């Protein structure tokens, strides 16, 4: 441990598992926000003033304003792989380390992408609502007809770790996998996923199922809007397990109302936890409350990796999954 800090003073900005608090208590003095509601921006910045480190979730927005009075802060550890809640330039200006939780959630989140893909393609939510409603009296030839997943074309937008894990699931279903990414994968990785790089328009026009797995940034804001939805097949599904804001929810609701595409499976929303009200009335959408990484094993792994990162940073060691390695050693 850095000799200038004997017992670091940290903020835990949201309720975590008790085992995490026990680990941290052995080493740190904790200002624990033991609640599921996020702090307001003003409260967050007030609480960060005297802290050496902080553990936050993907819904704590940390920017220059939040950090302005934080004099001692060395590290903020995000319990999420996506870190669009961090203004990395503001971190770099103050020499604050930022960390995230990649790898440990890759397969769990890929499973969720597939769960939404299967649920919307086979109309599971709609069928269950209908059944619970007492409407099932006869077998019917044309009842709840879906679209096939097996041997169809899966189009993945964003071919990072999670995108690649989804591609491998697609292969097991005999799917033809195409993908779009800022950069094509190396030939080795492409071969491991048996995936073919195409441009955005080719993917939208050819995919039977479009899966969004890219990070959110100013560049990917409304990456899927009215124009892109119009390019998709009328039998295609759209799944978003990435971030709200990548899809223009207004355009999506309109497209779904007109049955312009077959349906959508969504785990993330613009302005969540608020939802576009139109989504709730649509039969052709499966809605999940941002639970892509939510299995017990994975959430513990994320918490423990975030704590490892925090403790390493406080001890003057390089955290395992640092998002701004460019400031290390400066």
For ligand GLV, give the closer residue by CB, 261 or 302: 302
Stretch that binds ligand GLV, among 34-42, 78-86, 132-140, 278-286 (CB under 6 A): 78-86
Distances (CA, A) of 204 to 74, 157, 231, 234, 250: 43, 10, 6, 11, 19
Told to check if 80 binds ligand GLV by CB under 6 A, we report yes
Of 58, 244, 265, 319, which lies in the binding site for ligand GLV, with binding defined by CB under 6 A? 58
| Residues classed as catalytic | 243, 272, 290
* Residue whose CB is less far from ligand GLV, 85 or 152: 85
User: Measured from the CB atom, is 81 or 116 closer to ligand GLV?
Assistant: 81
Taking the least distance from each CB to ligand GLV, the nearer of 157 and 232 is 157
Residue 73's nearest CA partner among 303, 314, 311, 312 is 314
Dihedral sign computed on CA atoms, order 235, 287, 14, 40: positive
CB 241 within 8 A of CB 116: yes
Does position 53 interact with ligand GLV (CB under 6 A)? The reply is no
As a whole number of angstroms, the distance between CA 315 and CA 49 comes to 20
At 287, is the secondary structure helix, strand, or coil? strand
Residues 104-163 that bind ligand GLV (CB under 6 A): 105
Least distance to ligand GLV from the beta carbon of 266, Å?
13
Beta carbon of residue 281, minimum distance to ligand GLV (angstroms, whole number): 26
With CB under 6 A, what is the number of residues at the site for ligand GLV?
Answer: 7
Exposure string of 90-124, with b = 16+ CB inside 10 Å and e = fewer, is bbeeeebbbbbbbebbbbbbbbbbbbbbbbbbbbb
The nearer residue to ligand GLV, 82 or 263, going by C-beta atoms, is 82
Neighbours of 277 (CB within 10 A): 8
Considering only residues 8, 20, 82, 98, which one is a binding residue for ligand GLV as defined by CB under 6 A? 82
CB of 132 to ligand GLV, least distance (A): 29
Let me know: does 269 contact 295? Beta carbons within 8 Å. no
Q: How many residues are given for the chain?
A: 330
Q: Name which of residues 292 to 311 contact ligand GLV (CB under 6 A).
A: 292-293
Minimum Å distance from CB 242 to ligand GLV? 8
CA distance 32 to 15: 8
What residues are paired with 161 via a beta bridge? Answer: none
- What residues between 254 and 293 interact with ligand GLV by CB under 6 A? 292-293
Non-local (6+) Cβ contacts of 242 within 8 A are 82, 158, 212, 213, 214, 215, 216, 268
Is there binding between residue 45 and ligand GLV (CB under 6 A)? no
The 8 Å CB, 24+ separation contacts for 177-181 are: 177/153, 178/153, 178/154, 178/202, 178/203, 178/206, 178/207, 179/155, 179/203, 180/155, 180/156, 181/157, 181/214
Q: What minimum distance in Å lies between the beta carbon of 82 and ligand GLV? A: 3
Between 106 and 153, CB nearer to ligand GLV: 106
Q: Residue 8, interface with ligand GLV (CB under 6 A)?
A: no
Least distance (Å) between residue 283 CB and ligand GLV: 26
Rg (the chain; Cα; Å): 22
Query: Least distance from C-beta 269 to ligand GLV, angstroms?
Result: 12
Nearer to ligand GLV, 82 or 113 (CB): 82
Pick the piece of the chain touching ligand GLV (CB under 6 A) from 30-38, 76-84, 304-312, 316-324. Answer: 76-84
**167 sits in which H/E element:** helix 161-172
Point out which residues bind ligand GLV (CB under 6 A).
58, 80-82, 105, 292-293
């Amino acid at each position: 441990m850095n000799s200038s800090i004997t017992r670091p003073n940290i903020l835990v900005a949201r309720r975590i598992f008790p085992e995490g608090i026990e680990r941290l208590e052995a080493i740190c003095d904790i200002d624990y926000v033991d609640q599921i509601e996020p702090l307001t921006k003003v409260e967050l910045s007030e609480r960060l003033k005297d802290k050496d480190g902080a553990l936050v979730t993907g819904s704590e927005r940390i920017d220059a304003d939040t950090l302005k009075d934080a004099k001692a802060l060395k590290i903020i550890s995000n319990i999420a792989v996506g870190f669009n809640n961090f203004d990395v330039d503001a971190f770099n200006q103050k020499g604050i380390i930022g960390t995230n939780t990649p790898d440990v959630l890759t397969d769990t989140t890929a499973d969720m992408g597939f769960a939404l893909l299967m649920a919307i393609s086979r109309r599971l939510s709609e069928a269950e609502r209908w059944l619970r409603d007492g409407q099932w009296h006869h077998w019917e030839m044309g009842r709840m007809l879906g679209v096939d997943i097996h041997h169809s074309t899966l189009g993945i937008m964003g071919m990072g770790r999670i995108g690649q894990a989804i591609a491998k699931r697609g292969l097991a279903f005999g799917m033809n996998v195409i993908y779009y990414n800022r950069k094509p994968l190396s030939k080795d990785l492409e071969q491991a996923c048996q995936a073919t790089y195409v441009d955005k328009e080719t993917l939208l026009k050819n995919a039977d199922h479009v899966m969004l797995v890219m990070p959110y940034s100013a560049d990917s804001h409304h990456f899927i809007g009215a124009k892109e939805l119009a390019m998709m097949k009328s039998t295609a599904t759209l799944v978003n397990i990435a971030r709200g804001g990548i899809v223009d929810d207004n355009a999506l609701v309109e497209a779904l109302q007109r049955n312009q595409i077959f349906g959508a499976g969504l785990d993330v929303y613009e302005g969540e936890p608020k939802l576009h009200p139109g989504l709730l009335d649509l039969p052709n959408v499966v809605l999940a409350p941002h639970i892509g990484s939510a299995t017990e094993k994975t959430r513990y792994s994320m918490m423990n990796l975030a704590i490892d990162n925090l403790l390493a940073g406080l001890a003057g060691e390089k955290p395992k999954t640092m998002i701004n390695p460019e400031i290390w050693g400066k």
